[in-house]
């Protein structure tokens, strides 16, 4: 399994558009990416232009496939990235606890 943690800092006043676009992205991922186990986005309560994304994929191939989808190109690269002041991403592997990589709940 692979996890992706991303932090988006939008330009001032861009938070509402970023949130709407992330909602569209989550729907597309749910409908079109069986290799994505979890796709979550959260918006800061202190800074309305700051977002944190947490995603889990069955493997590295599924993560790479995600980055090649039309919805990633259109929504993330086409709409969100131009609105950002900063974007940080990190790929993670799960910590195994009691022989399990955690739950999907």
pLDDT tens across 69-102, in order? 999 999 999 999 999 999 999 999 988 787 666 5
- Report the distance separating Cα 37 and Cα 13, nearest Å: 31
Q: What is the pTM of this model?
A: 0.87
pLDDT band at 51 (very low <50, low <70, confident <90, very high): very high
- DSSP notation for 32-57: H-TTEEEEEEEE-SS-TTEEEEEEEE
Q: Which domains are delineated in the chain?
A: 2-92 (3.30.70.100)
Q: Which residues contact 5 (CB under 8 A, 6 or more apart)?
A: 52, 53, 54, 89, 90, 92
């Amino acid at each position: 399994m692979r996890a992706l943690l991303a932090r988006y800092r939008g330009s001032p006043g861009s938070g509402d558009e970023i949130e709407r676009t992330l909602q569209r992205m989550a729907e597309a991922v749910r409908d079109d990416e069986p290799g994505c186990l979890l796709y979550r986005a959260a918006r800061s309560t202190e800074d309305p232009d700051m977002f944190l994304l947490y995603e889990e994929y069955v493997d590295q191939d599924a993560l790479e496939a995600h980055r090649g989808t039309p919805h990633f190109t259109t929504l993330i690269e086409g709409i969100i990235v131009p609105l950002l002041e900063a974007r940080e991403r990190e790929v993670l592997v799960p910590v195994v606890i009691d022989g399990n990589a955690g739950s999907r709940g």
